[in-house]
Every structure is written in C-alpha cells, then in structure tokens.
Structure 1
Amino acid sequence: MTQAPLNSLETDLASGLLSSVIADIAEEAAQVILPYWRSGTAVETKADASPVTEADRAAEALILTRLAERWPGVEAVAEEAAAADGTPERVGEWFWLIDPLDGTKGFVQGRESFTVNIALIHGDVPVAGVVTAPATGLTWASTAPGEGAVRRAFGEAWRPIRVRDRASDGTALLSHSLTDEEATRLAARHGCIQWQGMDSSLKFCLIAEGRFDAYPRTGPTSEWDTAAGQAVLEAAGGRVLGEDGRRLTYRKPGFLNGPFTAVGG
C-alpha cells in the first residue's frame, strides 16, 4: 500500500466521509441484487455447502471495484473471492471485510432479511461498517469514530440510532437454524424471555436501533458475516463479546468466528 491511499483512508475515516461513501457503495450493490430477488435465479452450492447466486457475485464485483477506485491499495477479504481462491494467510494493518449478500438462503427463499455488509478493519477491530437491507431499502452505518451510529431509508437523510436499556422482558434475535426448544433455552441464558428468528447481519442493526436486546450465536460464522454489524452496534452503544467475555476481534485463522453474543444496553 502506498502512503497516499493510507493517508486518505485515515482522513476519510476520521471525518465520517468513509462511512458515507461505503454506504453509497452498499446501496449501489443493493440495486444490483434486487433484480435477482424472487426471480427464480439459479443457485449453486459452494464447497462449504452454502448457497451462492449470480447476485452474490455481481454485488461483490461492484463493491470491490468501487472500493479500489476510491482507496486504491487497501486489501479486501470478500466472501465469494475467499470461496473461490481461499482466504489469505495474512493481511495488512488495514483491510476490508465484505459480504456482498449475507443471508443468501433467505434471499433464495424470497425472505426480506438479507443484507450487504462492508466493514473496515484496523488491526483486529472493526472501525467502520455499513449494513444495507436491499428488500426494505434501509441502511445502517457507523459514523466518524466516537460520533455514534445512524440509519436512513434509501434517498432520505440519516437519523441517529441508539441501543435501549435492557428490559426485564428482553427479546433476543436468533438464527433460523435453531429449533424452538434450543432458541428458548439460548434466549433465557442471556436474560431474554422472548425470541425471534431472523437471517443475516440485520440482527445487529435491530439491536443497535433499540428494538431488540441480544443476539447470542453458538454456531460458526465467518468474519465478513459479523464485522459490519459489529461496527454499527458498537457505534450505537452496544457490545459484541466472544466466548471469553472480551470484545470479538478479527483476522483470526481462516477468518472464522467462534461463539459470540451481541448485546445492547
């Protein structure tokens, strides 16, 4: 990486411009994805048995192109490139984590809760992130460091969001892969008497805007599944904790996460 792009990246991060630009990129990717939704698009199976569609690939190509145009030389770890070529053994101090279509299973089934995730990692933590929900036309973003998180409908102004204080009757968001019995037990373990199943990184964002309280995850995820949502939630006053009770960090072997819990107030 040359010094000029790095200086630009840090300056844009500090001013909040970076989050604004990657939000525009994520929303542009959403417009690439939407024509494939509920259209009977062909589905392939990757080596890890997860689904992939042309929408995933087209959105990822656009995101990688736009990021390279704006901040040349900054490395990127993106889901479909990683599936095709393997994850890199090492990355630089700054790098992007990208999931161009998180929640592909739900997308293929016609559900609404799929997202576009773009995050910037510095060292081993997410310092900026954007999550866009193409089907509902909403975007969540971290702002300049220390200045909170925001949400907007496509084409409208940003408004600030904040986690809520934990209520005695808290509600958890959980993966659709759990049985009702497993979900009830897991929600109770984290102080929630109610739960709702949901796909994708949207779970982080709904906690960030104060509608839900916790998202415990026991099964494996990839770092590109969580980084953008974590950036938004932390900016809104929440936390994402690994199994050891410490902040969930990144650039782990294979870019894989262990169990974690995302919480609001």
Structure 2
Amino acid sequence: MLNKLKDLIKEAGEQLMYFYNYKYKNITIQYKNNGSPVTNIDSIVNKFIMQKLYDIKPNIPILSEECLPEISICKKWEQYWLIDPLDGTKEFLQGIPEFSINICLVKHANPVLGLIYIPFYKILYYSYLGISWKEVYENKKKIYINKSSSCKNTYTIAVSRYHNIIKKYQYMKNIKSYFTLKMGSSWKFGLIAEGKVSYYPRLGNTGIWDTAAGEVIIKSSGGKILDLFNKKLDYSLNNSFINNGFHAFI
C-alpha cells in the first residue's frame, strides 16, 4: 500500500506542477472565512487523490480540507484518510515553489502513516511503522531521517512567511540567538524531522489536515509536536476539525 501511496502523491504533484507552470490559465480564486485563498486547482487535485485512495482502500472514509463532511458523520469512524491536496496555496499563486501535498492515515485518533510531497523539488517525506524516510526523485536518493543524525551549529526557527509570530511567543524569550527561516506549507515538518530546523511554532488555530502527516514524520524521527498547552493534538473528530496552535521541535 505504501508504494501505491507514493505513486499516487507523485502523480498528484505532477498535476500541480502542470498548473504551476502556467499551462492552465483559468485559475479561479475564492476566499474562506479566515481570509485564506482556495482555487479550483485545489478541487481538481483533491478529486484525483480521493479517487485513487478509494481505489487503494475502498472501505476507508476520506476527510479532506476541500470537502468536509458533517462532524456528526465522522464520529463513528475508527480510521480515515486525511488529506490536503494543496498546502501553501498563497505560495502556489505567487510562484513560490514551497507548496506541498499532505496525505495521512489516522487510526483510533492517532496518525499512523504520513506522506508530504513537495512537487517542485520532487522531495517526498513519509513515515510508517515508526520510521521516517526522505526520497529525492531527481537524484533517486532514499535517506533514513532522524533528527539526531543532523549536526546543527545554529538554532533555526521556521515560521510562516505571512505570520511573524516569534516575538509574540513566550518561549522565544528564553532563546538569545537563532536564525529565522520563513517558508510556507508542511515542508517545515520535514525539515524538523531531518534536524535542519530546530523549532516551528504556530499560534493560530490549525486544521487537522495541516498537521497529521507532519506529526507522523516528526515523531518517527525523534521529534515532538504538541499544542500550545503541551497536550497532544486532537484527531478524534468528536467536536471539531480544528486544533489550537502548536509547536514542533527536536
């Protein structure tokens, strides 16, 4: 199944790159209640991923950012796919190649299998059975990743390009010297898993589709991700699809 998922996410990435390279001119943009953009590209790639997931495991329900069911329906799910077909829509629209695709399998409210793909760079992070890997399709390299395997001389903090929250977060007052990396999408989780980034804070509420795949990859590589009260993120679908802010770290 993992090999099929890797092929699926790579194919979905090829679709995104087709649109990203401006071969597709009729991009329509709408805005959600929180002001974030969503395009018809999100919907097109979402349909492709959902159909492929049904082909792989037809009995597992799918929860996607782009077509949310009623929360009352989801409460009975013991397992489900959780996907974000285009994470980093702002970057995508501005021609910044950091956007990603997230796919995760959640069982009994715990993310157990996660994939994050950055199509422009053909980089895939994935984790299953407690082991995380990074594959770079351009040079056909497959690397076992663990945060302890990276030697860092600088404390690096990753933040969203559009939300400068470092000074607002109490934790940062204890760190005197650090380097700030501004970038979009779930790629930041992969860099945490590799040990290239030390810390990734986010203050605002976050959809579960934004964090689930990254959580599997980070935990399997020896890192941690918790909400701002240092509690586990909630994927139970009992009350909401949203968690409060979080911090990921090694």
Report TM bin, short chain.
0.7 to 0.9
User: Equivalent residue for 2:144?
Assistant: 160
State the aligned residue count.
Answer: 241
Shift in Å, 1:25: 1.1
Given the alignment, which residue of 132, 147, 157 partners 1:149?
132
CA RMSD of aligned residues (A): 2.2
Matched, 1:235 2:220: yes
Amino acid at match of 2:209: W
Identity of aligned residues (%): 29
User: Equivalent residue for 2:104?
Assistant: 119
User: Equivalent residue for 2:43?
Assistant: 57
Moved more, 64-73 or 48-57: 48-57
Return the TM-score normalized by structure 1: 0.83
Q: Is the 8 A contact 1:31 1:134 kept in 2?
A: yes
- CA–CA distance in structure 2, aligned partners of residues 44 and 33 of structure 1: 18
Shift in Å, 1:98: 0.4
Q: Is the 8 A contact 2:152 2:196 kept in 1?
A: no
Render the CA deviation track for 1:59-111: whole Å, top value 9, x for unaligned. Answer: 111111111111011011001112xx655552411101100000101111111
User: Equivalent residue for 1:101?
Assistant: 86
Note closer, same or farther for the CA distance 1:154–1:178 as it changes in structure 2 (3 Å cut).
same
Given the alignment, which residue of 77, 80, 96 partners 2:66?
80
User: Equivalent residue for 1:259?
Assistant: 245
Note closer, same or farther for the CA distance 1:228–1:190 as it changes in structure 2 (3 Å cut).
farther
Note closer, same or farther for the CA distance 1:167–1:133 as it changes in structure 2 (3 Å cut).
closer
Q: Is the 8 A contact 1:27 1:154 kept in 2?
A: no
Amino acid at match of 1:121: V
User: Equivalent residue for 2:18?
Assistant: 35
Look up the SS of the partner of 1:158 in the other structure. strand
User: Equivalent residue for 1:4?
Assistant: none
Shift in Å, 1:45: 2.2
Look up the SS of the partner of 1:254 in the other structure. coil
User: Equivalent residue for 2:117?
Assistant: 132
More helix, by proportion: 1
- CA–CA distance in structure 1, aligned partners of residues 74 and 47 of structure 2: 22
- CA–CA distance in structure 1, aligned partners of residues 160 and 236 of structure 2: 24
- CA–CA distance in structure 2, aligned partners of residues 189 and 32 of structure 1: 43
Shift in Å, 1:135: 1.1
- CA–CA distance in structure 1, aligned partners of residues 101 and 5 of structure 2: 11
Given the alignment, which residue of 164, 175, 179 partners 2:160?
175
Return the TM-score normalized by structure 2: 0.88
Q: Is the 8 A contact 2:152 2:195 kept in 1?
A: no
Shift in Å, 1:232: 1.0
Which runs of 5 or more residues in structure 1 are unaligned? Answer: 1-17
- CA–CA distance in structure 1, aligned partners of residues 245 and 31 of structure 2: 25
- CA–CA distance in structure 1, aligned partners of residues 38 and 168 of structure 2: 31
Which runs of 5 or more residues in structure 2 are unaligned? Answer: none
Amino acid at match of 2:136: A
Given the alignment, which residue of 166, 173, 188 partners 2:172?
188
